[in-house]
Amino acid sequence: MERAVVFVDGAYLQVVLKKEFNEARIDFEKFSTLLCDDYERLRTYYYYAMPYQSNPPTEEERKRYSSADKFIARLRKLKRFEIRLGKLARRGDDFVQKRVDILLAVDLVRLSWGRQIATAVIVAGDSDFVPAIQAAKDAGVLVRLYYSKYSVHNELLEVVDEAFEIDREIIDSCPIG
């Protein structure tokens, strides 16, 4: 059986679950396996940046960080899951993720050119991944994208081999419990 790896942009998926599915909670192991279709899931990589904390952190920052830390701890316990953490940096009144996209791109290219996978399943909407996707395709990897119709860059849709919208049927197929 050919192997697949799932690459999840965690912040992207959180926004999709919150805005489109009323903060639906899913079983991430079931979700990952479902997205792999008939391929063996070698692993799921979940990319995320922990919430910002000032020094000293406010009570709200502590709560938000603690909640995220518990979530990541639960994911770490899942079979065949790897967590890759970037950083959240403050830019004026906004916060931006740093290193998250690069971590995903490096893993995608490394596993593709190392001939460890036949299929890459990506959950994202950002066009920053286009060069890494093209490199994976050049290595002979089939690249499948799962995305939100409300938040996906056209260039990303054009470069992948297959694209599937994250819909209610997918979400309902992955209940917790």
pTM of the model: 0.95
Omega cis (within 30) before 56: yes
Write out pLDDT tens, residues 101-133: 999 999 999 999 999 999 999 999 999 999 999
pLDDT for residue 155: 97
Alpha-carbon distance of 43 to 5, in angstroms, equals: 5
Nearest to 7 by CA among 44, 36, 62, 50: 44
Nearest to 31 by CA among 160, 165, 174, 176: 174
Q: Domains, the chain, ranges and CATH?
A: 3-172 (3.40.50.1010)
Write out pLDDT tens, residues 58-102: 999 999 999 999 999 999 999 999 999 999 888 888 888 889 999
| Single-letter amino acid, residue 133 | I
Sign of CA dihedral 81, 8, 105, 52: negative
Alpha-carbon distance of 96 to 172, in angstroms, equals: 31
